[in-house]
Amino acid sequence: MESVPLFFDRLDKRLERKIDTKNLTPREELVQKYMRMQGIFALSGLSLMLMVAWILGAKMMAEFSLVYIPFMMVAGNIMKRSKQMLKIIFLFKISMIIISSVYIVRMGGILTSGGLFLLTIQAVTSSVIMRDFRRIFAVAFSFVIAVTLLVVLEPYFPTRYALNQHQNTIFLGFNLVLITGYIFFFSLYAVNLYSKMEQRETQRQKELNDAKTRLYTNITHEFRTPLTVILGLADAVKYGQQNHIEAKMDTIIRNGKNLLQLVDQMLDLSKLESGKISINRIHANIIPFLKYIFQLQEFYAEGKRINMSFFSESQSYELDFDPEKTAAVVSNLLNNAIKFTNEGGNVQLKVFRKSDSLYIEVRDTGIGIPGEKMEQIFDRFYQVDGKNTRKEGGAGIGLSLTRELVNLMDGTINVKSVPEEETVFTVQLPIRHEHEKAEIEKNPAFEAELEAKQLTNSVSETQNGSPKHLLIVEDNADVIAYMKACYETHFKITVAQDGLEGHKRALEDVPDIIISDVMMPGMDGFELCKKLKDDYRTSHIPIILLTAKADIPSRIEGLEQGADAFVVKPFNQQELMVRMQNLLDLRKRLFECYKNGNGSECSSDPVIQKEDVFFKRLNESINNNLCDEHYDIHKLCEDMAMSKSQLYRKFRALTNDSAARYIRRQRMKRAKELLQTTDMNITEVGYEVGMKSLSTFSQLFKDEFGESPREFQNHLQVNGNGKAH
C-alpha cells in the first residue's frame, strides 16, 4: 500500500516504546506487536461481553468472560518472557478452541451458545501470524474436529445453562459484530505491519549493500597499499638498489603478514557464517600463551615507540580454552590498540580472575571511540571513521570477528572509552576444567626458525655425496621459482606442473621427497598422494602437501590419504626445510632394519608395515631363484615389474645399499644356513645358492662373514654344533 492510515502509525510507535525491539528479529517484533494488539482488542471485547452478560443475567456467558480474561492476561505475560514465542502462541490458539468448546457444550450446543463458536474461528484466522504451515494446519484441523464433534454430539449436551432465545439473539449479534470488526481491524493492521517490515528490510538491504560497497573499497585499499610497497621494494632490489636491503626485506615481510591477516579474517568470517568453525579446547595454563601473543605484537609497537606492558595477578591460570580462537581475539584487540594509539602512547594487557571467569583487558591511550558510536563498533564492516580520508586503514571486520569468536567460546566482550584519553576492551571467558591437561603447541614457524639455525648440510647429501632428489608438484610458476630459489643448493630439484605429470615423474625418477600442492588441474594433491602411497614402487617416499586450505577437515583428508606432513601457504621456508629434514631422518631410522632383510620384525610402525609388502615380494622372488647363477638385478627388475632405476632408488632409500649387493647377501645368508643345518659340502652349498665357482663363493662368503666357508665349518665342528640328519 502506498499510504497507511496515520492511526496505525501512531499505534505502532506506542507499541515500539513498550517492546524492547533491540534483541528481536524483524519477524519476532512483528509477532510481538500483533499479539499485543490482539490481546488489547480481545480484553476490551471480553470486558464489554461481561457487562452485557451481567445486564442480561446470562450467568454462563459471564463465567466464560471471567475465565477467559485472566487466561488472556497470563498467556500474554508468558509470551513476553518466553524465548519460544511461536510455540506459546500455538498452544494459546489450541487452548482457545478447547475453552470455547467446553462452554459451548455446557450451554447446550452451537445454536444455543450465543455465537460463541465465532471465537474459535478467530483462533484459526489469527494463527497465520505464526507463518508456520504445520502449526497453522494443526490449529485449523483442531477447529474442524471440535466443530464436527459439537454438531454430532449436540443431542447429548445438557441444556440447563443454555441461553434463552432473547439472550442467544443478542449475543449472536454481539459476537458477529465483534469478530467482523476484529477481522477487519487486524487485516488492516497486518497489512501495515508487513508493509513496515518490507520497508525496514529494504532499508536494511540498502545499508548492507552500502556496507559491502565500503568493504570492497576498503579491501581494495587494504590490498593495494601493501602490494604497492611489496612490488615497489621487490623491483628496487631486482634492479640493483642494494642499499638498506635488510630493512626493505623486513618491510616486505611486514606488509605480506598484513595481507595474510586480512585474508585470514575474511575466511574466518565466512566459516562463522556457514557454521563450519568449531571450538577445540585444551586444558592448560593460559598465561605463557598470552605472553607469547603479547610479545608478537610488541614488534609492531616498536615502530611507533609505544610502551607495551603485560600484567597478570597470577602466573598460572589453568582452564579450558581454544588457543587458535583466543590468539585471534587477543591479537585483534592488541593490533587495534596499537593502530589507534599515537606515538609515545601506552598499551597494556591485563589478566585477572573474578569468581568463575577469567578477564582479559586490553587498555590503550589512543584516540578513543565517541559515545554515540560505541554500540556499532562490533557491527560487521562498520568503521568509526568511515571517510576515505580516515587516518588508519582497516576493512571493518576485525572487531566483528572478535565478538563472534568470543561468543563462540561462551564469553562476552565489552568496551569503555573516553575519547582522546583511554579505551578499554574487556573479554570475559568462563573458567572450566572439563578437558585433560595438555601442552600448548608452539608456533611451528617460530620453532622452525630456531631449529633451522642448527641444521647441518646433512639434509642435502647422502653418504656418497650426491644431493637428495626433491620433486615439486605445483601449477603456479611463481611458487615453483620461489621454492627452487630456496632449496636448489640443498637438493636436486625436478618440477611437475600438475598432479598427472607429478605422478608420472614420481614413478620414473623415484625421488627422495615430494612437495605437492593440493589444488591442481588433472589430479589434485590428495589423489596424487593416495596413488603414490598405494604403489609399492613409491610408497616409501615422504610427501608434504602444500596448500592454502588451512582448515582441519582438509588436513585430516590429506593425512588420511597418507601425507606425511601438511604445510599451509604462505609457508616459512625454514619451517619447510626442517620438515623435510625431519622426514628424511625419520625414514632413515625406520628403514635401518631393512639392511639385514628384516621389516616388521623390528618395528610395528605403519610405514614399515607398508614397505613389508614390497620386501616380502622381493625376498620371495630372490629366494625362489637362489640356485640360478644367472639370476641378477635385471631378472629381479622383471619379477618386481620395475625399471632398473626405480628399483635402485627404492632400494637405496630403504637400505642405503644396492639391489645387487642385497642379492649376494641373501645368497650368503642362505649358504650359512645350509652349512649350519645340513650335511651338504661346500661345493654343493655353492651350487645351491647359484655359485658355480668355488673360489668366488669362498671370497664372497668371507667378505660377508669374515671367514671362508671352510673356516666356518671348522668352527662349527670345534664348537660341537650338530647338523640336521
Residue 11 scores a pLDDT above 70: no
Quick: pLDDT tens for 567-578: 877 677 777 888
C-alpha to C-alpha distance for 156 and 152, rounded to whole angstroms: 9
Q: Answer for the pair 487, 452: CB distance below 8 angstroms, yes or no.
A: no
Write the burial class of residue 49 (CB in 10 Å: 0-12 exposed, 13-18 middle, 19+ buried).
buried
Question: Among the residues of 591-677, which ranges form H helices?
Answer: 606-623, 633-640, 644-655, 659-677
58: Cα within 13 Å, side-chain hemisphere? 29
pLDDT category, 425, cuts 50, 70, 90?
very high
Q: Answer for the pair 470, 493: CB distance below 8 angstroms, yes or no.
A: yes
The percent of residues in the chain predicted with pLDDT above 70, rounded, is: 74
Residue 22 scores a pLDDT above 80: no
Q: Answer for the pair 673, 665: CB distance below 8 angstroms, yes or no.
A: no
Mean of the per-residue pLDDT values for the chain?
A: 77
Quick: pLDDT tens for 211-242: 666 656 556 656 765 676 677 777 767 776 66
How large is the C-alpha radius of gyration of the chain? Answer: 41
Residue 393 scores a pLDDT above 50: no
Q: Which residues contact 69 (CB under 8 A, 6 or more apart)?
A: 43, 46, 47, 50
More confident residue, 597 or 47: 47
More confident residue, 284 or 86: 284
pLDDT category, 74, cuts 50, 70, 90?
confident
Question: What pLDDT shows up at residue 220?
Answer: 62
Integer CA distances (angstroms), 406 to 279, 384, 412, 554, in order:
11, 21, 6, 25
Write the burial class of residue 620 (CB in 10 Å: 0-12 exposed, 13-18 middle, 19+ buried).
exposed
Question: What pLDDT shows up at residue 23?
Answer: 59
Question: What pLDDT shows up at residue 686?
Answer: 86
More confident residue, 721 or 389: 721
Question: Among the residues of 82-164, which ranges form H helices?
Answer: 85-106, 117-125, 133-152
Question: What pLDDT shows up at residue 458?
Answer: 39
C-alpha to C-alpha distance for 353 and 338, rounded to whole angstroms: 25
Q: Average the pLDDT over 161-167 and give the result.
A: 83
Report whether the peptide linkage leading into residue 570 is cis, meaning its omega lies within 30 degrees of zero.
Answer: yes
pLDDT category, 276, cuts 50, 70, 90?
low
3-state secondary structure 264-296: HHHHHHHHHHHCCCCCCCEEEEHHHHHHHHHHH
Chain centroid, CA 129 distance in Å = 37
Q: What is the DSSP letter of 309?
A: E
Residue 518 scores a pLDDT above 60: yes
Residue 437: how many other CB atoms lie within 10 Å = 10
Question: What pLDDT shows up at residue 265?
Answer: 65
Question: What pLDDT shows up at residue 472?
Answer: 92
More confident residue, 415 or 390: 415
Question: What pLDDT shows up at residue 120?
Answer: 78
Q: Quick one: which of 709, 695, 412, 656 has its CA closest to 512? A: 656
Residue 9 scores a pLDDT above 70: no
Q: What is the DSSP string of 376-443?
A: GTTSTT--SS-STT-SS---S-HHHHHHHHHHHTT-EEEEEEETTTEEEEEEEEE----S-B-PPPPP
3-class state of residue 357 by DSSP: strand
Question: What pLDDT shows up at residue 216?
Answer: 64
Quick: pLDDT tens for 432-463: 888 766 555 544 434 433 334 334 333 444 44
Q: Which residues contact 369 (CB under 8 A, 6 or more apart)?
A: 377, 384, 415, 417, 419, 423
Residue 359 scores a pLDDT above 90: yes
The lowest-confidence range among 131-135, 270-274, 340-344, 520-524 is: 270-274
More confident residue, 191 or 109: 109
3-state secondary structure 451-506: HHCCCCHHHHECCCCCEEEEEEECCCHHHHHHHHHHHCCCEEEEEECCHHHHHHHH
The percent of residues in the chain predicted with pLDDT above 90, rounded, is: 6
* Cell reading at 698: 669362498
Residue 470 scores a pLDDT above 80: yes
Question: What pLDDT shows up at residue 428?
Answer: 93
Q: Answer for the pair 113, 147: CB distance below 8 angstroms, yes or no.
A: no
Q: Answer for the pair 96, 35: CB distance below 8 angstroms, yes or no.
A: no
Residue 272 scores a pLDDT above 70: no
Question: Among the residues of 488-551, which ranges form H helices?
Answer: 499-509, 525-534
Residue 565 scores a pLDDT above 90: no
More confident residue, 194 or 353: 353
* Cell reading at 222: 587494504
Quick: pLDDT tens for 686-710: 888 888 788 888 888 888 888 888 8
